Amino acid sequence: MSRKFLALQAVALVLAAQAAVAATRQQESVAAKLSYDVHYLASGALEGRFSGSEGATVAAAFIADRFRDLGLKPSGDGGTPYEHFSFIARVHPGPGNALSFDLQGGPRIAKVEEEFRPLAFSSSGSASGEVVFAGYGIHAPDLAYDDYAGLDVKGKVVLVLRYSPDGDDPASRFQPHMALRRKASEARALGAAAVLVATGPVGAKETAPVKISFDASFADSGLPVLGISTPLAEALFAGHGFNLAELQQRMNERKEPASRPLGVRADLAAAVVQERADAVNVLALLPGADPALAGEVVVVGAHYDHLGYGGDGSGSLAIGVRAIHPGADDNASGTAGMLEIARRLASHPPARSVLFAAFAGEEEGLLGSNTLVQHPPLPKDRVVAMINLDMIGRPKPGPALTIGGYGTAAEWPALLERLNANHHLKLATNKSGFGASDHSSFYAADIPVLFLFTGAHEDYHKPSDTADRLNYPGMAEVVGFAADLTVRVADLPQRPTFQKVADEGAGERRGFKVRTGAIPEYGFEGPGVKLSGTRGGSAADKAGLKAGDIVLRFGQRDIRNIYDYMYALGDHKPGDVVTLLVKRGASTVELQVTLEAGGGGAR
């Protein structure tokens, strides 16, 4: 062995060691950068980045500044960095709520707030009619229990009690029927003009009017729904020879309805004000280096919004807690990752253009990504793929990474295998292009997607999702992988071939007997249920339902909102053929859906 060779080998070894040190340093510095961005986005100053809030606005400006510093092209409205959209952020009672009764002893005008208030999902409007007591408002043929049996409620004002003959026991067989949304839906289906809801006097802990905050659907229940106080409800029974407490006691003991007309007339008006907020996506384009391919675009997206202070109806899993939800992993991590990919690519653009998108409104139902898909800054057919980063900050050792959308392009398996030969991540894959994040909006529009995710954890949607709990070195490796992935996709000689995944498994939530495989667009404000797409090979897919369809009737039920749709599913069993009335563009069509068995599988 020559000394010269040994000397050369020594030099080579030193160089290799230096390269390794440089690579480690680079990883260290990437981890530090990611840590910095996550700590900033998840800081108390940004107050949990609730869409449309001041904290979210500050976050959006931070992202826009980064894009600008990298020399990217602002691609929001009118050449600004921001794409605006509005959504219903909260609802509150407006002026003009009124409720009065024509009692035997004379008229009784109820006091707003003290004796009644509209529920958040009430329609605004007025109604008058005879008051009919419909027990717990439960119509459950499957349980052989029907508070509406033999009762005519058409055009009448229905009074129902909260809960069930088993009280509020969550283990009760009546559990699925206790939701007030459901009670309103049943009453409306039977032709009621309005619904009054009261807490029954038996075992009542509170007697104030029911207060139900804003929930997951922006669409109202299709009729006025007022919560009334227990004493006011009791007053409607005066002079009848029976009182509410006795009737309720009997229903609870015998598990038997005690419905009846009350011989009282009600006049009411419900006024609910929907408070809209303005939110923004932050969009920036990195023009492609190859003139022949630069007209095509790969979208790299991450939502930057989170739950603000949490609370009822926010999606927080910290029940009854009002505190900043920092959303460090969800999704300051993906936002920081997206910014790091932009930084790496900005100086060496790949062949195709890359659109970087920081979405708002994800937590309210993928509103921002849906806005981008509906109103893209460039023709939609030029978007060749979407890569979504949502919760990438807590990789387990490996580091482990889950990739969704694996089945949505013919090229993905080979491309990912080749890429990971360099990265050595512990990959798990999931074929479906649908999931509870923004890539769903793109897949529904027939765009191939990849969804990068490092897994759920106990701090998910809680104030404890803090920046100190992330694994930054692991995240740096995931982001390195994501950056190379973006380049590979943007450099593909041919655009990836979209595939609808043949069998995308259970979609609707656990516990449904049947499913259709239709994917609702959560931001739709109704009436009806608008579909953002259908799962490949599902009943809805086979029936010919399409993205953009609005379901107005499902079997016998008129569909005002997503809840009506869920209850309609509950009316059926697998194998039932159901006729759907669907609004498609300017026309309406009827489609036959053969329902499939629902059951297991997470969302």
Residues that bind Zn ion (CB under 5 A): 330
Q: Strand (E) positions, 466-538?
A: 514-515, 518-520, 529-534
Min CB(43)–Zn ion separation in Å: 18
Min CB(387)–Zn ion separation in Å: 18
| Between 364 and 521, CB nearer to Zn ion | 364
| Between 296 and 330, CB nearer to Zn ion | 330
Min CB(233)–Zn ion separation in Å: 39
| Paired strand residues for 269 | 98, 126
In terms of Cα–Cα distance, which of 277, 262, 288, 412 is closest to 349? Answer: 288
Min CB(461)–Zn ion separation in Å: 6
Q: What residue number has its CB nearest to Zn ion?
A: 330
Peptide bond between residue 448 and the one before it cis (omega within 30 degrees of 0) = no
| Between 277 and 539, CB nearer to Zn ion | 277
Contact residues for 29 (Cβ-Cβ < 8 A; gap 6+):
none
CB 279 within 8 Å of CB 87: yes
| Between 137 and 308, CB nearer to Zn ion | 308
| Between 330 and 521, CB nearer to Zn ion | 330
Min CB(64)–Zn ion separation in Å: 22
Min CB(306)–Zn ion separation in Å: 7
| HEC readout, 227-262 | EECHHHHHHCCCCCCCCHHHHHHHHHHHCCCCCEEE
Kindly list the distances between the CA atom of residue 159 and the CA atoms of 187, 206, 295, 530, in Å, as whole numbers in the listed order. 10, 18, 61, 31
Please report how many Cα atoms fall inside a 13 Å half-sphere around the Cα of residue 229, on the Cβ side. Answer: 13
Q: CA-CA distance, 527 to 523, in Å (whole number)?
A: 12
Min CB(327)–Zn ion separation in Å: 7
| Between 330 and 508, CB nearer to Zn ion | 330
CB 408 within 8 Å of CB 498: yes
Min CB(414)–Zn ion separation in Å: 32
Q: CA-CA distance, 572 to 593, in Å (whole number)?
A: 12
Long-range contacts (CB closer than 8 Å, 24 or more residues apart) made by 345-350: 345/286, 345/483, 345/486, 345/487, 346/70, 346/71, 346/72, 346/286, 348/289, 349/286, 349/287, 349/288, 349/289, 350/288, 350/289, 350/298, 350/486, 350/487, 350/490, 350/491
| Between 462 and 530, CB nearer to Zn ion | 462
| Between 293 and 302, CB nearer to Zn ion | 302
Residue length, the chain?
603
Q: Strand (E) positions, 400-554?
A: 400-404, 426-430, 449-453, 514-515, 518-520, 529-534, 550-554
Q: CA-CA distance, 13 to 242, in Å (whole number)?
A: 95
Query: Is 329 strand, coil or helix?
Result: helix
Backbone dihedral angles phi then psi of residue 531, each to the nearest 5 degrees: -100, 135
| Between 329 and 340, CB nearer to Zn ion | 329
| Between 459 and 549, CB nearer to Zn ion | 459
DSSP-derived pairing of the beta strands 449-453 and 400-404: antiparallel
| Between 83 and 330, CB nearer to Zn ion | 330
CB 411 within 8 Å of CB 484: no
| Between 76 and 361, CB nearer to Zn ion | 361
The pair of structure tokens assigned to 346 is 């900005």
Q: What is the dihedral of CA 335, 340, 343, 346, to 10 degrees?
A: -80
Min CB(364)–Zn ion separation in Å: 10
Contact residues for 19 (Cβ-Cβ < 8 A; gap 6+):
none
Min CB(331)–Zn ion separation in Å: 7
| Between 37 and 596, CB nearer to Zn ion | 37
Min CB(442)–Zn ion separation in Å: 18
Peptide bond between residue 349 and the one before it cis (omega within 30 degrees of 0) = no
H helices of 454-581, in order, are: 472-491, 539-543, 562-570
Min CB(326)–Zn ion separation in Å: 12
Min CB(462)–Zn ion separation in Å: 11
CB 580 within 8 Å of CB 568: no
DSSP-derived pairing of the beta strands 272-286 and 73-74: antiparallel
| Between 220 and 330, CB nearer to Zn ion | 330
Min CB(330)–Zn ion separation in Å: 4
Min CB(465)–Zn ion separation in Å: 9
The pair of structure tokens assigned to 134 is 């419909």
| Between 329 and 564, CB nearer to Zn ion | 329
**Given 3-state DSSP classes, what are the helix, strand and coil percentages for the chain, each rounded to the nearest 5?**
30, 25, 45
